[in-house]
């Protein structure tokens, strides 16, 4: 029975060593696998953070694109307004040119009428010695024709009016 016992003890010890060895190998492998799983979980978290950051960047880019589109529309609207105002300005300049021409013409006509009236009143004094004109024609106009006088004193109403009626 010794042999049996020795075989049995040997078998039991062998079995225990084998199981212990398998347990140790399995434990080592399981420990490595747990470390690998933890490393993979860390990588998954990092990748999730990268994905979140990428999505945030994409959202920011989309917001920037929308803002740029809005700004382009505003710029286009302002360009349209500027073009419209430039058209109004050109129209106003044309109207002002016409008004200036009319103003100059009215000044010319008024000055000519004043010249003729004062000349007539001066001549009237020759026929009616009792008449005293407000302005001495020769003092105000000299011996100039209207055209000569206008070349010297013509212009805005105020200029020639102050000269004639100081």
Task: List the domain boundaries for the chain.
Answer: 2-164
DSSP 46-67: HHHHHHHHHHHHHHHHHHHHHH
Specify whether the CB–CB gap between 136 and 124 falls below 8 A: no
Number of helices (H), then strands (E), belonging to the chain: the values are: 4, 0
Closest CA to 164 of 102, 101, 121: 121
* pLDDT score recorded for residue 146: 82
* pLDDT score recorded for residue 78: 92
Burial of 125 (0-12, 13-18, 19+ CB in 10 A): middle
**Is the pTM here over 0.75, yes or no?**
no
* pLDDT score recorded for residue 14: 83
> Rounded to whole angstroms, how far apart are CA atoms 72 and 110?
55
Mean pLDDT for back-to-back runs of 10 residues, the chain (166 residues): 77 82 80 86 90 90 90 92 91 89 85 81 77 71 81 78 72
């Amino acid at each position: 029975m010794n042999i049996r016992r020795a075989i049995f003890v040997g078998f039991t010890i062998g079995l225990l060593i084998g199981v212990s060895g398998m347990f140790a190998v399995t434990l080592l492998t399981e420990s490595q696998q747990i470390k690998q799983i933890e490393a993979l979980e860390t990588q998954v978290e990092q990748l999730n953070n990268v994905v979140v950051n990428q999505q945030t960047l994409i959202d920011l880019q989309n917001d920037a694109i929308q803002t740029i589109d809005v700004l382009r529309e505003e710029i286009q609207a302002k360009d349209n307004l500027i073009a419209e105002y430039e058209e109004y300005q050109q129209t106003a300049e044309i109207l002002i040119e016409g008004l200036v021409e009319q103003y100059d013409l009215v000044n010319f006509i008024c000055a000519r009428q004043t010249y003729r009236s004062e000349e007539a009143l001066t001549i009237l004094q020759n026929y009616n010695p009792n008449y005293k004109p407000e302005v001495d024609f020769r003092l105000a106009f000299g011996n100039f024709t209207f055209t000569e006088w206008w070349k010297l004193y013509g212009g805005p109403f105020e200029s020639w009016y102050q000269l004639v009626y100081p």
